[in-house]
Structure 1
């Protein structure tokens, strides 16, 4: 397939470009500057500028863009940035696909398990109701922005992504070096459920969804969500390091501001739609995930 990717330079986007190219797909990136080669398409989502002719030969679009939740304190201005960086590009892509005669009829749209809010130990599937709070409102607006494409018959799947376990980058990538040094430990009480998935399974799942007929919300998580302290212990065990010193909630609040509340929220989300449509995780349990994330990649 020819696949166009927005947000291709982030943690997931970078890995996805590499994965799709390695599996025979042709990938073109949407970039917010003049295109430098035929593999790039210039656009300006803030100004609403995107040439539909650049999309015509593609079969699918994957939109992963959005300002990082942990990149700055959640001031009123940064809250607006978080929201606008998700809804404006999504709305532009959605309108463009809806208005095209031909072109891509698949949109895999980034989303988040933040949709469910802080839900304790309740099992959550794609049919579960939304929670409450700022991030819940953001995710709902983000998903709603695809309405024009859906109304025009484009297959839209919302990728409700959990905690992505990666060797570098992202929230987990920041935690891993601390565990390697033996100074990692539970965050707060550590009893909140993290709906984790390895980066390898994340990109495999996105490729899988390109070839199915799945639409609507899809939880991109592993089938075994676990309390956060168990995830940290499993990684520490794989590294043969201790993980006993907890990080107090107050310290997280001082260091991260309101983003700490997101890290400490609990979503016991299950990948019901993924598994129902035949996806098999390479890392379905904590032991295999911890072994993968702590294994240093071979030199290129």
Structure 2
């Protein structure tokens, strides 16, 4: 396939690009700087510039672009960056795709399980409505920006509602693993909140699966949700370390501000659509995820 990828420099995008190349697909990477190789095509979402020729002949477009929600404190200015980095890229790609005489047959649009807000211990699936949290509002606008492609009769659009991505380095565990290695890891808050998670390997496999699976609309890219403390304990056991020192909720809020809501809030998002489409997780449990993140040396 010919695949156009936006957001190829992040954790997921980097791993996905490597896998696409390994499987023999032709990759076109959209970048915001002068090109440095034959894969790259320049675009500028901030000013709405995207040459439609970059998408000519493409079979699929995958959009993972967007500023990190937890990278910096969520001031009002940062919130605008988070929102606009998603809606501008998504809107520009969707309009360009919809305007082509022969558009790509599929757009896989990045999204997040934060769409549902915080639901405690109640399982949620793709049939559940948007929540009322900060991130739920971002996701509503983010997915809404894809409307031109969604409305095109020849384009299948799936929203990749990704959970917390677990990887050997970077991502959600980038700050937590060093503490666990020192025996300082433990519950965040009371630790009983559900985390909707997926390993980086399964995230990439799921995206590749959705290039062909006849699925449209929201897709929860998660494994079986687990309580945060159970995930930390599984990681600590791999390192033969304790996982008993709690990080109080008030300390999380002091350190992370509003983003602490995303860490302390409980969301039990089930991968109902992904499972129904025939996808099988390679790391379905917390223990399997810990073995992936911390392979035996």
TM-score, scaled relative to structure 2? 0.97
Residue of structure 2 equivalent to 1:282:
282
Residues 76 and 62 (structure 1), Cα distance of their counterparts in 2 relative to 1, 3 Å cut: same
Residue of structure 2 equivalent to 1:182:
183
Residue of structure 2 equivalent to 1:70:
70
Residue of structure 2 equivalent to 1:168:
169
For each residue in 1:98-135, what CA deviation from the matched residue of structure 2 results, as whole angstroms up to 9, or x when unmatched? 00001312110000000010100001100012211211
Matched, 1:54 2:74: no
Residue of structure 2 equivalent to 1:79:
79
The question of whether the paired residues in 2 share the 8 Å contact of 1:73 and 1:259 is answered with: yes
Taking only aligned residues, the RMSD between alpha carbons, in angstroms, comes to 1.1
For each residue in 1:222-244, what CA deviation from the matched residue of structure 2 results, as whole angstroms up to 9, or x when unmatched? 0x211111111111111111110
- Which structure 2 residue ranges, 5 or more long, are not aligned? none
Q: Say which SS state the counterpart of residue 47 (structure 2) adopts.
A: coil
Residue of structure 2 equivalent to 1:291:
291
- Which structure 1 residue ranges, 5 or more long, are not aligned? none
Residue of structure 2 equivalent to 1:156:
157
Residue of structure 2 equivalent to 1:198:
199
Residue of structure 2 equivalent to 1:18:
18
Q: CA deviation at 1:37?
A: 2.2
Q: Say which SS state the counterpart of residue 258 (structure 1) adopts.
A: helix
Residue of structure 1 equivalent to 2:222:
221
CA distance in 1: counterparts of 2:180 and 2:18, whole angstroms: 27
CA distance in 1: counterparts of 2:57 and 2:40, whole angstroms: 13
Residue of structure 2 equivalent to 1:265:
265
Residues 296 and 60 (structure 1), Cα distance of their counterparts in 2 relative to 1, 3 Å cut: farther
Q: Deviation above 4 Å: which 4+ runs of structure 1?
A: none
CA distance in 2: counterparts of 1:120 and 1:25, whole angstroms: 41
Q: CA deviation at 1:296?
A: 6.7
Residue of structure 2 equivalent to 1:207:
208
Aligned counterparts, 1:112-151, within 5 A: 112-151=112-151
For each residue in 1:125-155, what CA deviation from the matched residue of structure 2 results, as whole angstroms up to 9, or x when unmatched? 0001221121111000000011001111211
Residue of structure 2 equivalent to 1:249:
249
Q: Say which SS state the counterpart of residue 187 (structure 1) adopts.
A: coil
Q: CA deviation at 1:174?
A: 2.0
Q: Pick which of 101-110 and 200-209 moved more.
A: 101-110
CA distance in 2: counterparts of 1:128 and 1:103, whole angstroms: 30
TM-score, scaled relative to structure 1? 0.97
Q: Pick which of 13-22 and 170-179 moved more.
A: 170-179
For each residue in 1:248-276, what CA deviation from the matched residue of structure 2 results, as whole angstroms up to 9, or x when unmatched? 11111111111111111111011111110
Q: Say which SS state the counterpart of residue 160 (structure 2) adopts.
A: strand
CA distance in 2: counterparts of 1:266 and 1:98, whole angstroms: 37
Residue of structure 2 equivalent to 1:32:
32
CA distance in 2: counterparts of 1:54 and 1:38, whole angstroms: 12
CA distance in 2: counterparts of 1:184 and 1:25, whole angstroms: 41
Q: CA deviation at 1:32?
A: 0.1
The question of whether the paired residues in 2 share the 8 Å contact of 1:165 and 1:173 is answered with: no
